[in-house]
Amino acid sequence: MISCCIFDLDGVIVDTAKYHYQAWAEMARALGFEFTPEQGEATKGVSRMASLEIVLRAGGMENRFSAGQKERMAAEKNERYLSFVRQMTADEVLPGVRTFLEELRARGVKVVLGSASKNAGVILDRCGIRPLFDVVVDGTLVTKAKPDPEVFAKGAELAGERPADCVVFEDAAAGIEAATRAGMRSVGVGGSPTLSAATMQLRTFEGFTLEKLAAGVDGK
Ligand code: B16
Ligand code: MG
């Protein structure tokens, strides 16, 4: 039975990773080194402060700054990131997502957001999709980052659904692990080989339906 679908945000609903990357790369350049797109991959699904550590390590600067300086750097990065996010429109919702969310709602399946981002609310608002979610759990509500199951467990609890009836949609390996640890089935979105632990794989939401989801996760 599937009574609740829980969606990661960045990489599943929208591609905000490109804005995170641009903001981190600008910070790195100001510090005097290049942060490459390949290095940026490691920040996907990871919290803001953990991402900062990844960037500083890439520049060999992991021990150079105090905790207070790091807080300020993360805040500045976030301002840069928000300057991109504030320009977002409904066109940036990834293909097929809106139709699939609408189908779930029409069929009585709960729709929940489970994101590490503290900016999830503003992104949902900019894209005009907040009304499609029954429950929003974001980085402001959880204390433990994925692969800890907290974000998904809380989503199921607030939706009033049992973990066994929930399916998580994720583009990051840590998110698939979090779903498994929460006792939920999972869909690896985007086709990365790092998502092989997911119950099923999905390249795009275009043409995807509840029926296809049920067939894909059934009996696994
Ligand atoms: P913020 P998700 C994650 O979103 C991003 O993938 C990750 O790159 C980012 O560092 C994290 O949110 C925190 O974002 O700085 O906005 O709080 O994939 O969990 O939806
Ligand atoms: Mg993600």
Tens of pLDDT, residue by residue over 42-59, are 998 889 999 999 999 999
Q: What is the mean pLDDT of residues 57-80?
A: 98
Q: Which ligand is nearest to the CA of 138?
A: 1
Strand pairing of 110-114 and 166-170? unpaired
Q: Which of 48, 79, 140 to mutate to test the pocket of ligand 1 (most atoms within 8 A of CB)?
A: 48
In single-letter form, the type of residue at position 65 comes to F
Biggest distance spanned by C-alpha atoms of the chain: 53
Nearest CA to ligand 1 atom 8: 44
Please enumerate in sequence order all residues whose Cβ is within 8 A of that of 29, keeping only pairs 6 or more positions apart, or say none: 35
- Tell me, using a 6 A CB cutoff, whether residue 139 lines ligand 1: yes
pLDDT band at 219 (very low <50, low <70, confident <90, very high): low
Which atom of ligand 1 sits closest to the CA of residue 13? 20
**CB-CB neighbours of 123 under 10 Å:** 26
For 106-127, write each residue's pLDDT tens digit.
Answer: 999 999 999 999 999 999 999 9
Q: What is the mean pLDDT of residues 9-33?
A: 97
Per-residue confidence (pLDDT) for residue 220, from 0 to 100: 47
* Residues known to be catalytic: 8, 10
Q: What is the mean pLDDT of residues 175-202?
A: 96
Least confident of 43-47, 69-73, 175-179: 43-47
DSSP letter, residue 14: B
pTM of the model: 0.94
pLDDT band at 63 (very low <50, low <70, confident <90, very high): very high
Distance 202 CA to ligand 2 centre (A): 14
The whole-chain average pLDDT of the chain stands at: 96
Distance 99 CA to ligand 2 centre (A): 20
What does 52-115 look like in DSSP terms, one character per residue? HHHHHHHTT-TTSS-HHHHHHHHHHHHHHHHHHHTT--GGGBPTTHHHHHHHHHHTT-EEEEE-
Per-residue confidence (pLDDT) for residue 46, from 0 to 100: 87
Q: Are 169 and 146 in contact (CB under 8 A)?
A: no
Q: How many Cα atoms within 13 Å fall on the side-chain side of residue 24?
A: 28
In single-letter form, the type of residue at position 154 comes to K
β-pair partners for 186? 168
